[in-house]
Structure 1
Amino acid sequence: MTTVLLPQPSLGVGDPFGQAKSSDDSSTTGTVHSWDISTGVDGPGTRFVTFLSGCPLRCLYCQNPDTWLRSNGTPMSVDDVLTEAAKYVPFIRAAGGGATISGGEPMQQPQFATSLLEGFQGLGLSTALDTSGYLGRLASDRLLAATDLVLLDIKAGQPETYRRLTSRELRPTLDFATKLAKRGKRVWLRYVLVPGLTDAIEEIGAVAGFAGGLGNIERVDVLPFHTLGQSKWEALNRRFVLADTPTPTAEQVEEARDVFRAAGLTAY
């Protein structure tokens, strides 16, 4: 995996919810944190992954808190990003991959994200949108038409837990998931298993029961919590409150997968 971090301003705390103040969303330019070539974690095959800056959530386990603020991104045009991606198209196609837009939260820059997705399709690449769904109300028909696959992170099944984990409300994500189901959009659901926070059977069961009724969830990935992003929190002078939380055991991960399987879903 090769990650290219773009030149960025100093990492300040800034606006506590990372709203853009320096520029509005544009269909031709946006703020990009970095790009990456990855395999197996950002959609099928090898992917060109573009990480956009800005996110309205404050997830306690976030491994990229340096993407929260739009001001920490580098201004780039759609053509800038596509020119970089085009260098890898033959390799990506041969590896059965495509292009993924992640973040941050891509839908904090919905017009820019739409233009990127359309541009990637123009390069002959399949597209994926990695999102929490919290800003799903901003997903236009045009954006969804340019998205072949949605990687949807449902972070908790109970509103109280979701609020504690993200500082936001669960309902917008569920509404977006329902919208995707009505359109028959392909979805891979991701669920981060955090001991003591999202590992309760009733928590997992709430997500599984909801997802099992949608009809468009191709797979569920249960992702074990880890502390690999802790150093980024420290660089931002932020306290990583889950520093002492253990990684779930293989048995705990498999038990969580079984809850999703019991709801008729394919879980990994």
Structure 2
Amino acid sequence: MAQVVAVLGKGVVDPSQPILLADDLGPVRGDGLFETINVRQGVAWQLEPHLERMARSAAKMDIELPSLASIRELCEQALTAFGTESEGALRLICTRGLETGSAPTLWATLNPVPDSQRNARRDGLKLLELSLGYPADARARSPWLLGGAKTTSYAVTMSAIRYAQSKGYDDALWTSEDGYLLEGPTSTLVWLNGETLYTVPSDTGILIGTTAAFLFENAHELGLKVGEERIRPADLTAVDGAWMTSSVRGVAPVRSLDNVELNQSPRTAELQKLAGFPTPE
């Protein structure tokens, strides 16, 4: 059960009580969008970039998102109820509304970040390469595939994670049908080659990660340049370091891909500090 639940127009509600009608298109068809935001000392980190991405997702899906001012107010209500002691994950969910027609349904949940996610910052990740089934440029030329939108249609996403874990891995890393690395089911691939920090170009249809974007905007503080390029799995073994980034897991080093050990960069701690993610002892 969520620790804090807040509903647009109602504020914080009892998390044990239902908030959705049976014909809401979110659970019925997975027809909705969401954002998950890191919370530190009671503050939603990178809230505005998350809201901007949420608006872009809504536009791609033709969902009329409630005003950003009302969503900010909803976030503040949830944050106040959560307090300042724990690192949290604030999730905003917006569905298209009822199957019979209605305004969108929007609510927030807020929970502590699980230890398993925090520990990945220290222990790193063992990844399994899985095919997404599309060429790298398929989603860019096929807008109905909703490339770059953060949707609630997560059955394939969670299936990929479960499959990887059933084989003894921590997570998956999706590849295109033509052999390029794309993204994790819930995270963005970032790697270092020399003094340049890279990620996968957005024209591949990946979701543009807010944590990765923050690192790229501020990489100059570490004396790093930034770039985008397509990369194949075999080439990742030659880079100086690779990380999966997300708002919950933070900056987690990639230890191996398909049981091939990757180089470990001494700059992991710098990147984690830059983005402000605490690392367990």
Q: So what's the TM-score if we normalise by structure 2? A: 0.28
Q: Which has the higher contact order (CA 8 A, sep 6+)?
A: 2
User: Which of these two proteins has the greater Rg computed from alpha carbons?
Assistant: 2
